[in-house]
Structure 1
């Protein structure tokens, strides 16, 4: 629980609040996000919450950015490990499928999807949402370049959309695995014009 981590000094008060926000959003959605739930989860006072985040938009924006920063760092670490293995594009597609299957499966993974949907409703969150997707696109470009895929910049957005869509499908259907290698290869072959 976030509360214990905050007491042990593992995370700052601000980070504890952001992690609590992600936890509550994952469990209850943005509509279920209340200051009372956040402070109970983070183990902080209401005054502390409002000191760090004077508005819900500011809180959601920073929570979204924290998630994206940590997620891209984690994925970049995976990429670095596989890059040294000298994988082919087909082998990399299989690895992507495996990584998606190994991602945690629960309410925490719902939080970013909830936040992206909220960004569609709240223009104050759109910049943070754009930054999140820009980070994913940058990571995709890095991976595609490492695989010597031509037009990496042009393909990054569709690759990110495909993977995000597959993860959303997995979460929405409760499927333990969603095939990713074949759709990813279809996308890359289609971009190359090799059908």
Structure 2
């Protein structure tokens, strides 16, 4: 792992534990094990640090999810099997600070327009992945349905984090959405 990645991971950890408001250079350098000069060399502003942390998270998250898709691409899954697989993947996600950090970053992007391009890139990557999966499953107009699918999954994850309870199973929720769309 490069020094830059180490700093970004430390920032994500602090954001997940304390929120964006609790992010300080002192906490980042302590977690990353680097000097303040190293931090400011790589990230001259907190906005750039937040932007790059968001992009790192999205890149890694979409790569993980794409690997799951690739592993099952030849399986010729039905919609029901794909929904069950999505549910299984969601249940295996960490339940804690690692999951909180991205939500914090998305909320910060709502407050700070300079982060919105990074946030948009994150959601564009999720939408593209969802459209690929939906298309492979034979869902009609997968690009139109991708955004609502991503929003549903993000909302269910936020609910799970906020309440500590899963609510409606994600697979069931996805099937309701897809069947209701005419897919």
Bin of the TM-score, shorter chain as denominator length: over 0.9
What CA distance in whole angstroms lies between the structure 2 residues aligned with 1:17 and 1:123? Answer: 23
Comparing 88-97 with 26-35, greater Cα deviation is found at 88-97
Provide structure 2 residue ranges, at least 5 long, that are not aligned to the other structure. Answer: none
Distance in 1 between residues matched to 2:5 and 2:124, nearest whole Å: 22
Residue aligned with 1:82, SS: helix
- Structure 1, unmatched stretches of 5+, are 1-10
Query: How far off is 1:175 after superposition?
Result: 2.1
SS of residue matched to 2:95? coil
Q: Say whether residues 1:151 and 2:141 are aligned partners.
A: yes
Of residues 115, 127, 130, the one that matches 1:125 is 115
Tell whether 2:168 aligns with 1:175: no
Aligned residue among 81, 84, 99 for 2:89? 99
1:80 Cα deviation after fit: 1.0
Shift of 1:71: 0.2
Q: Confirm whether residue 30 of structure 1 aligns to residue 20 of structure 2.
A: yes
Measure the CA separation in 2 of the matches of 1:106 and 1:56: 23
| Distance verdict in 2 for CA 1:166–1:44, change over 3 Å | same
The corresponding residue for 2:74 is 84
Q: TM-score, normalised by structure 1?
A: 0.91
Structure 1 residue 177: Cα displacement: 7.1
| Rounded Cα–Cα distance in structure 2 between residues aligned with 1:96 and 1:123 | 32
Superposed CA RMSD in Å reads 1.2
Q: Quick one: which of 69, 81, 89 aligns to 2:59?
A: 69
State how far apart, in whole Å, the 1-side matches of 2:93 and 2:168 are: 11
Deviations 1:148-187 (A, max 9, x none): 1110000000000001111111111112675011211111
Relative to the length of structure 2, the TM-score reads 0.97
Match of 1:190 in 2: 180
Where do residues 39-58 of structure 1 align in structure 2 (5 Å cutoff)?
39-58=29-48
| Count of residues in correspondence between the two structures | 183
